[in-house]
Amino acid sequence: MSKHPYDLLVVGSGGAAMSAAITARQAGRTVLLVEAKTLGGTCVNAGCVPSKALLRFAAHRAEAAANPFVGAPTSAGPVELGALIGQKDELVGRLRSGKYAAVADAYGFEVRPAAAAFADDGTLAIDGRPLEATNYLLAAGAEPARPDLPGLDRVDYLTSTTAMELLELPDSLVVIGGGYVGMEQAQLFAGLGVRVTLVGRLAPNAEPELREVMRTAFGREGIRVVEHRALAVEAAGNGDGAASQVTVVTDTGLRVAAGRLLLAAGRTPRTAGLNLPAAGVKTDQRGFIVVDAQQRTTNPRVFAAGDVTGGPQYVYVAAAQGRVAALNAFGASDAVDYAGLPAVMFTRPQLASAGLSEEQALAAGYDCECRTLSLADVPRALVNFDTLGAVKLIADGASGRLLGVHAAAEGAGELMLAATYAIRARMTVRDMADTWAPYLTMAESLRLAAKLFAPGERLPTSCCA
């Protein structure tokens, strides 16, 4: 029997926290979750769920405005943003209740609304009152970062969180940041009819061939992309001291003006109030908690998982890390296997990947071979009357084993489950080329791309051959 009231005390209530709590309860352990903000963490409240719902709303309007089917005309009128935000909020509330509060009740652990901070290396203060547990898990998550830009203090800027609470659309918007948050937010607002400029390198981690696809996609939606570095921000007054316009000044001297500014320049961990030095828990230069492969911090009784550790910021990664942390807190020695890890950017077209990039494969010592298939050679894209996109496969040149899959295409994210299975099963590109693929699906592009590795397969093929 433990001498402490709880076997595991978890700070946070998002994906990592819930996964750890469920795992611990399944092992018969006592668990308490402490949440200083809103139940459910980033994903359900301010990340995956609300942003993807709004992106879907925006996509409907964008598709109506750019309908390629001449015999079935559509139109895209003004947007009633308040109604969309209300629909989004209803969904978030329903999922927060059904997937978090109800799950905690079902597994029998408490989620206590309170602030937590370490009093010493073995005690957490919960709203100032000391509470000891056998082990601790820090899963407090992350939030939008605020870049150090001169003039930012004089601007009422938006983040990816606050932008999704607007009730009126701005006439124009400038987005700082070309990563997944910046790209999704830029297309979200462009799809709703806002004039958008994005400042920053577009899709900096994407394969070069797919980055070019996204440049074309943004251009055809009317999104101006300025691939310069933001250097400063200026606010223009309207006479009463309030800012009516914001200007972003780039490192080349270019000035980009808009009605509102949205910051999408990375994320920062929620560690400021935890008093980590008192517990002997180290952080890196960016403030993220340092963990080993078993999710253990520099304090052997304290584990950390999810966005607060600075690893891949996906809710399924957080959940996997939380589960491993809970198992290891009670004697196991597990680690998360990241082989074939998939990622999806919910842009139009979607930008998705699984496994290694070409650069990563070369750095790992592979003499890799790559093939890129244009969607112009994919029958599904042809019947959709939209062939913008590509699929790139990366293979070990010696064995033909598949190392990575990257795609910019409608439904690219749906391809990545099959890609992850293939990578983890150590399939070769020959295996993929000889495997059944249903005709007139985007998933068929995996087989068609794999066939390009065979000698002579750079020539055109018939529909099904």
Give 300-322 pLDDT, tens digit per residue.
999 999 999 999 999 999 999 99
Residue 139 in tokens: 């899963």
Give 125-166 pLDDT, tens digit per residue.
999 999 999 999 999 999 999 999 999 999 999 999 999 999
**Residues 152-265, CATH architecture:** 3-Layer(bba) Sandwich (3.50)
- The residue length of the chain stands at 465
Higher pLDDT, 41 or 459: 41
Query: How much helix, strand and coil, in percent to the nearest 5, is found in the chain?
Result: 35, 25, 40
Peptide bond into 349 cis (omega under 30): yes
Q: Read off the pTM.
A: 0.94
Strand partners for 8: 31, 135
The one-letter amino acid code at 304 reads A
Tell the CATH superfamily of the 6-143+268-329 domain.
FAD/NAD(P)-binding domain (3.50.50.60)
Residue 2 is predicted with a pLDDT of 62
Residue 441 · residue 414 · CB < 8 Å: no
Residue 242 is predicted with a pLDDT of 45
Question: How far apart, in Å, do the first and last CA atoms of the chain sit?
Answer: 65
Q: What is the third-level CATH fold of 342-451? A: Enolase-like; domain 1 (3.30.390)
Give 243-269 pLDDT, tens digit per residue.
458 999 999 999 999 999 999 999 999
SS3 10: strand
Residue 243 is predicted with a pLDDT of 45
Q: Is 186 exposed, middle or buried (0-12, 13-18, 19+ CB in 10 A)?
A: buried
The full DSSP string for 225-289 is EE-S-EEEEEEEE-SSS-EEEEEEEETTS-EEEESEEEE-S-EEES-TTS-HHHHT--B-TTSPB
| Range(s) of the chain covered by CATH 3.30.390.30 | 342-451
| Range(s) of the chain covered by CATH 3.50.50.60 | 6-143+268-329, 152-265
